[in-house]
Amino acid sequence: MSASDSTIYILYNANASLLGKLNYACRKITASTDSSPCAACDLTHGGLKLDESAAWKKTKARIGAKVEQLHRDESTSEVRDFIKANSLKYPVVLGRAGTSPLKVLLKPEDLSTVSADHSAFLALLARRAEEEKIPLVIEMRFVPEIITPGHLTLAALVTGLGACLCSIATDRHTSAWAVYLWLLNRVLDCLDGAVARERGTTSDAGGFLDLLSDFIIYSLVPISVACGEIRRGLPADDCVSLLLSVSLLEATFHINNFILFYLAALSSQKGNDELTAVTMKPALVEGFESGIFFTLMLAIPSLLQLLTLIMAAGVCIGIASRTWLILDAFAAMKTQPGHIRVD
């Protein structure tokens, strides 16, 4: 029997009717600070709120079983008979595996100790389910709740800057750390967005800061590696050609970004599908390919000039293809692009 066949019943010490809600509100208001008329309500709703809390919704999603939340007057006859036969008090958490008999998982005193700590609730629920032989899988979160997507974005920026600083070092052992910090930057950069989406906390500000962090690091990596090569004794003649190749790559970045941002602004203003389609067209060098190039730059700095020239050529091909597609889109729209308004 799998965990998906199990059912967890959270039974409130309150009725669902209007009178029941008013009664609970009175009991809640008059209760002392160290007691609660319904610890289950505190766990799932955070007190007197009518809607489930966002934290509880996330916690419930981690329980690999069907979860039923019932008031006293919503309970089935089977549940009520079980409560009466075992002289149980509300609130209480019951569980069952498939169609097997009901089992007591958490009593009122158990709920009161974990009602303010969802992680503790999940841990206690999992332990009691295991003791009662009820299959239950609690989804483990790699990132603790205390760590926000913003923290991950900041950590990605710090590790990226650390990689750039290490690549400048004259000591080869120190410069080798640049690769490790860069790879950690990539992991954190992927993680912040994933955590934000999973928690339902995505925002325009978060996306902006994430993108800003990426642009800062992407711009600094080739420059930092070039500085490191020069500091480690690159001949003067080679320094000039190396800096020119890095400058060329940085120039292609700016031109490519201009095209993408212009398209994004114009398509949002005009609401044209043709322009949106151009924006979504894949280029020869995108995020994955850029990551490979930057990794090679940091790992084998002696190949920086060759890598920058190849990457610049790839970006130029993308610029040319998107420019062609843009002109085609404008022709299809039969209108002049004009200027973008900034309101």
Q: Which fold has domain 149-335?
A: Four Helix Bundle (Hemerythrin (Met), subunit A) (1.20.120)
Among 215, 235, 251, CA closest to 302: 235
Residue 277: phi and psi, rounded to 5, are -60, -40
- Distance, CA of 49 to CA of 16 (rounded, Å): 13
**Per-residue pLDDT tens over the stretch 232-284:** 999 988 999 999 999 999 999 999 989 888 877 776 666 555 555 555 566 67
Q: Return the H-helix or E-strand segment holding 120.
A: helix 118-131
**Per-residue pLDDT tens over the stretch 102-141:** 999 999 999 999 998 888 898 899 999 999 999 888 776 6
pLDDT beneath 70: ranges in the chain? 1-4, 140-141, 198-200, 267-283, 333-343
So what's the pLDDT on residue 72? 92
Neighbours of 51 (CB within 10 A): 10
- Distance, CA of 119 to CA of 59 (rounded, Å): 8
Q: Are 75 and 12 in contact (CB under 8 A)?
A: no
Q: Return the H-helix or E-strand segment holding 93.
A: strand 92-97
pTM value > 0.75: no
Q: Which residues contact 39 (CB under 8 A, 6 or more apart)?
A: 91, 108, 111, 112, 115
- Distance, CA of 41 to CA of 293 (rounded, Å): 54
* Local structure of 7: helix, strand or coil: strand
> Could you write out the three-class secondary structure of 202-238?
CCHHHHHHHHHHHHHHHHHHHHHHHHHHHHCCCCHHH
Domain ranges of the chain: 6-138, 149-335
- Report CA Rg, the chain: 29
